[in-house]
Structure 1
Amino acid sequence: MTAFTHLPSSALRLTGDDRLDFVQGQMTNNLKAAAVPGMVPACFLSAKGQIEFFARIYKREGDVYLHLAESEAPALAARFRKYIIFDAVEVQDISEQLATVHLWDEGLPGWDAAGGDVQTYELGGGVVLVGRVNRTGAPGLDVHYLRKHGAAFLAALNGDERPFSDLEAARIRAGLSDAAQDGWAGTLPQEVGLESAMSYRKGCYVGQEIMARLEARGNTRYHLAQLSGEGLPAHTEIMQGGKVVGRTGGSVGDLSLARIRKDVPADTVLDVGGAAAQLKAQSAPV
């Protein structure tokens, strides 16, 4: 039986003739290069190149759909509206209409495993939008469906529900960054394993000048890594010799993700909120 987990999330829908050009000029990845239907991960940055939002952005025939962390849609919608001047773009917050589950494998009825990474078809009384996403260290499926069809959809799914805490534990053990859950707002994408959300060839966007400088320089002072130790607290400063050298993201059991200085050697013992932690090798990016 397929395992699935409800994702705490929010969503925006962009319509209008200029929707693709508009969002392309805001985001760090190249949506124009995606198939239809298709999806890319992307960040929305401040003018200093720091993360404000992370989204998985779906390109469809008649609209652009943005899947965001819980409660983030209103703030990103407000940001978008500040930049709309003469653009033919409408921004809708559809968080109340849509829900999302993540399947831990690709065992969804109707899913073509040999097909594209994004597929749309009817299931459980309505149309579902399905994207292949790695949240556990192996490819699974994000399935977006209308809440009004929720009971019929879950009946058609006939899966085994697992709590969000299980999904988070698998993500952290796999070394996969999550900008919202790890609390990476205000950091550079390259510092926290979000390189796959970047394109350095797509043209201008907010924060692009800083990204170009980082590309030219070739590195950052911080990277994403894993710490091991008993009872490591999440979202806590990492200390070495009385100095702050990083900060933890999400934690599970004896493991935590961390944004930490690159000059801290592997196997170094560190202090995280009074708990002893050992630095492991750099973690894999999303």
Structure 2
Amino acid sequence: MGAAARERSIGGPEPMTPSGVLRLRGRTFGPGSHAVMAVINRTPDSFYDRGATFAFDAAVRAADTAVARGADIIDVGGVKAGYGEDVPVEEEIRRTVPFVTELRRRHPGVVISVDTWRAAVGRACAAAGADLVNDTWAGADPDLARVAAEFDVGLVCSHSGGLAPRTDPHRVAYADVVADVRDTVVALAERAVSFGVGPDRILIDPTHDFGKNTYHSLLLTRRLHELVGTGWPVLVAVSNKDFIGETLDAAVTDRLAGTLAVLAVSAWQGARVFRVHDTAAARRALDAVAAMERQGRGADR
């Protein structure tokens, strides 16, 4: 158990209410700040880069470049999100842990995230220096939140519509997708706090396209302020996703403009962290939104 978790257990139950800020590795991301999370896929079959950073040295170079271009967080994944070859736990650990170790050595101040739904992988990466567990499959392994508490690291609480990891939705339907997402991620966040995860370590993610069709993902984008209104910091992971491609009739290699548009809309509504493939473009777009917000506040006075 980490020091902060021990203090919480000694001091009594932690309140379930969100703190309104995100604190990871000594850094604070408060309301109005925009943290860029750069994607590094240690996989041979990523939908976007097709294995460009599967090799260790290529992944290190990509991470160095992302940090130089303004990434606040590096998100390391060892398993493709969608259908593909089965990846045993041991192989996922082999792909991620040595890379996390090297990242921590090279970039002691950067926040390191691991994209996994498996508690064993989360534990190994946290022990190697990861600061955040990015659980994109909505608590499929219920022990993953306990790992976050044990190591006093952050946790992403997501929504997948009840799907098992690495499966796609089929004729999915919701009475109100935004309400379903809100209720699910808030319940997961409160569960994590009950296990000892600090409220200032938790993010919620509507998880566009996971358990959702294009209409659902667009609706979540338009009503993202409702998730922001819960008080939990919101992560937006939309980079080059299918709902953007379907909306714009754009191939996966031609979705940057759509991605930046969704990032800007999400930032304007109060999202906090943005998971992207193109760090430099995202940083410029988000800085532009922040500048317009500042100028707008000045004009109101």
TM-score for both structures, normalised by structure 2: 0.27
The structure whose residues are more often strand, as a share, is 1
Larger Rg: 1
TM-score for both structures, normalised by structure 1: 0.28
